[in-house]
Amino acid sequence: MSDNTEPTVEAGKTVKEEPAEKPPVVKKTAEKAATPEKTATAEKPTATEKSATTEKVAAGEKPAAAAKAPAAKAPVAAKPAAAAKTATAGVESKTTKDPFVSRRRIIWASIVGFMSAISLMFVRFFLPRTLFEPSPIFRIGYPGDFSIGVDTKFQNQYRIWVVRNAERLFVIYARCTHLGCTPDWKQGENKFKCPCHGSGYDSEGVNFEGPAPRPLDRANVKLDAEGQIVVDTSVLYSWPKGSKSNFDEPGAFVKV
């Protein structure tokens, strides 16, 4: 028999038809439509909840939503700065000196300095009180090294002028007879001029103007075994005012 044969209905029996089921799509659509409404209803706060939230804010309490919000992260650059400040603070605390230690060091340094000064004074007391000056005796060369006139090349070193004329050579000590200043040789005026008070001397050291009371002094000169001129400024020849001149004495000049 073929599978398409319809079932046979017996005579006298009524066939009861089953009601058709509603398609499930319509039910699901209805449930989906109802879900947003419930969600919207649940999300909307009631009047009572709004008033409670307002009271908490007024009292200084943060709402639950704000409390649940994650805290903002600090900038990354702030961490090295904070670490640097902490390290600096640590170094400063380590390098801080005790004021009492500093005071003790100052006191001890003062005591040591005072004792050193006393010791130096004690040692200096037993040393001879002498001045270390160059020797007043020195050589200036041969008579033939000097021409007629005034030679000033030894003025700065020995404070003398070497003067030569037709008959003799002598050495003038460059010290003004007024107050001891050092005169200057004025070649154009052919005279020695004191810059302090204006005393004037001729080419042989004889005063003729200014407050100088007498001529310039002359140093002791002589020839050694080699024929060189030896000058000794510790021995001076002078011409006191109103007295006889000592410039013609032996040792006041060298014949040439």
What is the tens place of the pLDDT at every residue in 8-56?
A: 444 444 444 455 555 554 444 444 444 444 444 444 555 555 555 555 5
What confidence score (pLDDT) does residue 104 get? 84
Chain length of the chain: 256
pLDDT at 167: 92
3 located within any domain: no
Q: What is the DSSP letter of 144?
A: G
Residue 183 covered by a domain: yes
Which positions ≥6 away from 129 have C-beta within 8 Å?
A: none
pLDDT at 205: 94
Number of domains the chain is built from:
1
Confirm whether 81 is domain-assigned: no
Closest CA to 170 of 231, 82, 235: 231
Higher pLDDT, 82 or 230: 230
What CATH number should be reported for the domain holding residue 173? 2.102.10.10
| 239 lies in some domain | yes
Q: Report if residue 107 sits inside a domain.
A: no
The radius of gyration computed from the CA coordinates of the chain, to the nearest angstrom, equals 63
Per-residue confidence (pLDDT) for residue 139, from 0 to 100: 95
Give the global pTM. Answer: 0.51
pLDDT digits (tens, 9 = 90+) for 155-214: 999 999 999 999 999 999 999 999 999 999 999 999 999 999 999 999 999 999 999 999
Does residue 185 belong to any structural domain of this protein? yes
Please check whether residue 205 lies inside any domain of the structure: yes
Residue 236 lies in a domain: yes
List the domain range (segments joined by +) for residue 162.
137-255
Average pLDDT, the chain: 75
3-state secondary structure of 166: coil
User: In 10 A of CB 176, how many CB atoms?
Assistant: 22
**49 vs 128, which has greater pLDDT?**
128
